[in-house]
Chain A
Amino acid sequence: MTNKTHSMVSEKKLLYRVQAHKDAEAFGRLYDTYIEKIYRFVYVKLSNHTDAEDITHDVFLKVWQYLTQNPQKRIASVSGLFYTTARNTIVDVYRKRAKQQVVPIEEGHGVPEECRMQKIDTKMEVETILVHVKKLKEEYQDIILLRYIEGYSLKEAAQILDKKYTHTRVLLHRAMKKLQEIINV
């Protein structure tokens, strides 16, 4: 049994314990596996430590509630569940902020994602490469983060992003091309 398969089986076991027995210890082990990954994912999008910490904490709490409230629910990928929850939580934060700035929802939707990200970027100090990454579209950021920073395979990344393998491959190629263009300017 390869390392990946072993880790997948052990993850499924932990998931079963959480879903069937509401095992906090098992969830603690899942926390250890995913805390850094989810934090990085959130931080790349928000560029704020405090917000990233709060949101990461919320993500784990939401995952726990979801798993314990839906013990019969089929979970295809544990990592996919954590990343999807993180993405949804970030979207919620964007919405909250939009309301606080008294910007109508329709207008908020009309603002390009890149512009909003750029506003956040300017507030944070990050490494040069990360600054460039943040200039990319959100889906380009995701695929670069998952493939090169987190080290997932294309197949795993496709599963986490809920996209087809071929689409994910194309997406990664375009993202890298775009990043190179930004860096080279």
Chain B
Amino acid sequence: MTPRELQQQLKALRKTHSPINPDVSFVAQSKKTLLARISSTKEHTAPAYSLGERLYIIGRMFISQKTACRVRAGSLMCMVIITTIAGWTVGVSASSQSMPGDVLYSVKLAAEKTQIMVASATGDKEAETQLHLESAKRRTAELHQMDKEPKKVKKVVARLKKSVASVGETFKELKEQDSEKAKYAAKEVTQKTENISNSLREVANEAAKGAVKIENTTEKKQEELVLTKEVVEIRHDIDMAELAAIAVLDSEDAKDIIEDKVEEMIEDAQEFTEALAAVTEQATSTPTIVVSSTVGITEEDVQTQEAATTSTPINVSAIEEESLEDTEQEEVVENIDESIERMQEIAGEVQQLLEAGSIDEAIEKTKDVQEITQKTDDRALEVQGQIIEEEQKEQREDAQEGESEPVAAQEGVEEVEQSQENTVDEQKVPDENQDREHSDTDPIEIEGDVEPVVEVVSLEPEREEI
């Protein structure tokens, strides 16, 4: 039998009156019985469904299980994604105000990193530069506001340094990639770098004040000095990044900005000269000097410093006499004075170049000014460091002396006692001598329990025995 014939025979089974088909009577009877039974068990009132429920039932009937599962899985995924994004957004926005050491601070950093990574992946150097600038701005604000715990400060400073370096690098790449875009971005970069530079100046000022504060311990002073050094260094980097951005600008815009910058530098220098003069006057009586054109020490600071100095005359005199040598101080002051003069000279040259329209040369000269400023700052901070070191050394010596003092004091006591004893002996000896003298001369004056020997001298002549 062929397969086709077999199929034909099987199909024919349904059509014939074979025992495979039910009796017509059974079909009718069964239906009657079934409906009767259903009617008897059926509730009189059909359940009332709302329109929504009816739609749901109809929907379930016409939508297959697979489709329903897919829709459910899809909607679940959407919900998860939405919840994750919403949670992340809420977390990031909540973390934006967090400070180093806070729980959400790592979220803040992670969000920043993610943004930078995305910008980097898309190759948008302009956005990347802006993001690095934003990071640098945030780190500067954090440095300004946070608790100055050395570990935390160190981390924030390291991150700031990295951000500032990245600003310079990405802007350079942007310039190479698309000069037009770089020109467009340069204005904003200049503005932002200047803001960051000003904020860093405030941070450096604050730290520098901390480094000369008499109330601070030498360790604290050291920490503040380290922070000052690092912030000053970062400020130089950001200034260099600013100059790089200025170089891309149109000549007119660049001219205005450089003019402002030069003016600012001259003002800084003048302010600094005045402060320096005040410091020089007090050089002999002041234990510490902070000299920095970048830090921008003011007369007020010097006065505060003087006031603090006079409030602790003993320390000042000690440090003045022993830690700070007048010659070294004078040398530093002279060097700085020379640097200021040189800076002013170059500033004048920059202005001349700008008037002549040589923007590039003016920028190069401005860079020279920056270099000199950096050197001056380094030298001043170095001397400050030496002073603090000497102060530390002094304190250590004092402490050592303090430790050896009790022994010396004891020795002194013994000496005193010894001398007292000696004195007593010395006093006794003449007494004894005196006693001896007395005994020689006046045997009646005998001290102690010794019975006085009374020599009775008989005036009568001795009887001679017969």
Please report A residues at the B interface, Cβ cutoff 8 Å. 12, 15-16, 19-22, 24, 27-28, 31-32, 35-36, 39-40, 43-44, 49, 52-53, 56-57, 60-61, 64, 68, 71-72, 74-76, 124-127, 129-130, 133, 144, 148-151, 176, 179-180, 183-184
State how many angstroms separate the Cβ of B344 from the closest Cβ of chain A.
Answer: 89
Q: What would 14 more interface pairs be, CB under 8 Å, given A20-B54, A72-B56? A: A16-B58, A19-B57, A22-B47, A27-B35, A28-B35, A35-B27, A53-B30, A74-B61, A127-B18, A129-B10, A148-B10, A148-B11, A149-B10, A180-B6
Residues on A with beta carbons closer than 8 Å to the beta carbon of B18: 126-127, 130
* Residue B404 at the chain A interface, CB threshold 8 Å: no
**Total cross-chain contacts (CB, 8 A):** 117
Are the CB atoms of A21 and B6 closer together than 8 Å?
no
CA of A61 to CA of B3 in the docked complex: distance in angstroms? Answer: 38
Closest to B34 in A: A60
State how many angstroms separate the Cβ of A24 from the closest Cβ of chain B.
Answer: 5
Closest to A145 in B: B10
Are the CB atoms of A20 and B19 closer together than 8 Å?
no
State how many angstroms separate the Cβ of B57 from the closest Cβ of chain A.
Answer: 6
Please report B residues at the A interface, Cβ cutoff 8 Å. 1, 3, 6-7, 9-11, 13-14, 16, 18-23, 26-27, 30-31, 33-35, 37-39, 42-43, 46-47, 49, 54, 56-58, 60-62, 64-65, 68
25 contacts between A and B (CB under 8 A): A20-B49, A20-B54, A20-B57, A24-B35, A24-B42, A27-B38, A28-B31, A31-B34, A35-B22, A35-B27, A53-B30, A57-B34, A60-B30, A71-B47, A74-B60, A74-B68, A76-B64, A126-B20, A130-B20, A133-B10, A149-B11, A149-B20, A176-B3, A176-B6, A179-B6
Known contacts A149-B13, A180-B6; decide if A12 and B61 are in contact (CB<8 Å): yes
Residues on B with beta carbons closer than 8 Å to the beta carbon of A76: 64-65
Closest to B32 in A: A28
Residues on B with beta carbons closer than 8 Å to the beta carbon of A150: 14
Out of A40, A61, A183, A184, which one reaches B21, CB within 8 Å? A40
Out of B16, B22, B56, which one reaches A39, CB within 8 Å? B22
State how many angstroms separate the Cβ of A62 from the closest Cβ of chain B.
Answer: 11
CA of A12 to CA of B13 in the docked complex: distance in angstroms? Answer: 29
Closest to A18 in B: B38
Closest to A24 in B: B38
Top 3 nearest A-B pairs (CB, nearest first) are: A148-B10, A39-B22, A74-B60
Residues on A with beta carbons closer than 8 Å to the beta carbon of B3: 176, 180
Closest to B54 in A: A20
State how many angstroms separate the Cβ of B18 from the closest Cβ of chain A.
Answer: 5
State how many angstroms separate the Cβ of A132 from the closest Cβ of chain B.
Answer: 9
CA of A43 to CA of B19 in the docked complex: distance in angstroms? Answer: 8
State how many angstroms separate the Cβ of A83 from the closest Cβ of chain B.
Answer: 16
State how many angstroms separate the Cβ of B51 from the closest Cβ of chain A.
Answer: 12
Residues on B with beta carbons closer than 8 Å to the beta carbon of A176: 3, 6-7
Are the CB atoms of B20 and A40 closer together than 8 Å?
yes
Are the CB atoms of A56 and B30 closer together than 8 Å?
yes
Are the CB atoms of B43 and A22 closer together than 8 Å?
yes
Closest to A57 in B: B30
CA of A61 to CA of B36 in the docked complex: distance in angstroms? Answer: 11
CA of A60 to CA of B33 in the docked complex: distance in angstroms? Answer: 11
Are the CB atoms of B20 and A44 closer together than 8 Å?
yes
State how many angstroms separate the Cβ of B425 from the closest Cβ of chain A.
Answer: 120
Are the CB atoms of A127 and B13 closer together than 8 Å?
yes
Out of A19, A52, A129, which one reaches B9, CB within 8 Å? A129
CA of A179 to CA of B10 in the docked complex: distance in angstroms? Answer: 11
CA of A75 to CA of B65 in the docked complex: distance in angstroms? Answer: 9
Residues on B with beta carbons closer than 8 Å to the beta carbon of A20: 46-47, 49, 54, 57
CA of A151 to CA of B15 in the docked complex: distance in angstroms? Answer: 12
Out of A16, A36, A151, which one reaches B11, CB within 8 Å? A151
Are the CB atoms of A129 and B13 closer together than 8 Å?
yes
Are the CB atoms of B7 and A64 closer together than 8 Å?
no
Residues on A with beta carbons closer than 8 Å to the beta carbon of B39: 24
Closest to A53 in B: B26
